[in-house]
Each structure stands twice: as C-alpha cells, then as structure tokens.
Amino acid sequence: MMTEEQFNGIYNLHASKVHRLCLGYASGNNELAKEWHQETFIKVWKHRNSFKGKSSIDTWIYRIAVNVCLGDLRKVKNSVIINDDVLSKASPDDDHENKEKDIKKMYHCIDQLTEQNRALILLELEDLPQITIAETVGLAHGTLRTRLSRIRKSLLKCIKNGKGQLK
C-alpha cells in the first residue's frame, strides 16, 4: 500500500517529465497539458494499490499519462492548435525567433505522427531510457530502436522542408 508520503515523493520525482510529455501531446497548449498532468496523478493516486510492480513505477506512470492524453485527444477528435503564447514569451532577438519557429515546426511535425509514434518520440524527448519506453508501450527493445530511428529521420525531413509523409 502506497502512503501519502510515498506518493508525494513519486509525484515530485516524475511531475515535470509527465507535464512535458502532456505538453508534447497538447502541442504546447499549457492549460491542456496541466489538465492532463493533473488527471494523470489523480489516476495514479486512485489506482496506487493496483500497481503490482511488474514494471517500474515510472513506466506505469508514463503509461497512465499517455493513456490520459490519447483518450482525451480521441474524444475531441480535433487536432490541438499550437498555443502561440507559450512559444512567444521572448525578446525580439533573431536567434530566439528562429528557435521559436523550429519549436513550432517540431510540434507541427510531431502532431502528424501516428498516436504510437507520437508517444515514442515524446517519451524519448524526455530522455527516458529506451528500455523504459519499450516497456511502457509494449515493444521489444530492438523494434523500438528501429522505430525511433525512422521517426527521427522523418521528423528531421519534415522540419527541414515542412514536408514528409509522417507515420
């Protein structure tokens, strides 16, 4: 049985990664990401006693987060619009504007991926170990490595030319 103190420790350890993962699914919409983040940890708390330890706790939490985000996206059936406010808190510095454009392009390209590929790349962008990602999505490690390599190549092509068939 997980105590409130243990839950707080788990929350403090994983909250920022879960938020960034949700932010990726929300295409930069911070309000939506906060909502999904909160829903994820509500579910973690509600189902804390159903965690059996068959995977690591972080794998379990990320799986819940991915399910929350995808579940909500399926309900809405609309693609989430990039929130310009999040990306435009900047000085008019040219380097910053270019970086901002690249971030928008990246979100746009990530949005075009299939649900599973989006989950894979967003988890990888969080610097999670590939073995954790493989366990989270239920793929063999070798299959995951190959898939991530293909996703990176297609994202790079999409970001460079704004084109590319992403799957």
Fold adopted by 4-161: Butyryl-CoA Dehydrogenase, subunit A; domain 3 (1.20.140)
Total count of residues recorded for the chain: 167
What pTM was computed for the model? 0.62
**Phi, psi (5° rounding) for residue 165?**
-85, 110
Distance from C-alpha of 78 to C-alpha of 74, rounded to nearest angstrom: 8
Nearest of 86, 102, 91, 92 to residue 22 by alpha carbon: 86
What's the pLDDT score for residue 88?
A: 44
Look at the block and give the residue holding tokens 């991530």. 148
CA separation (Å) from 89 to 92, 135, 150? 10, 36, 33
Tell me what the pLDDT averaged over the chain comes to: 81
pLDDT tens per residue, range 17-36: 999 989 888 877 889 999 99
Each domain of the chain, given as residue ranges in start order, spans 4-161
Residues of the chain with confidence (pLDDT) below 50: 77-92, 164
What's the pLDDT score for residue 70?
A: 84
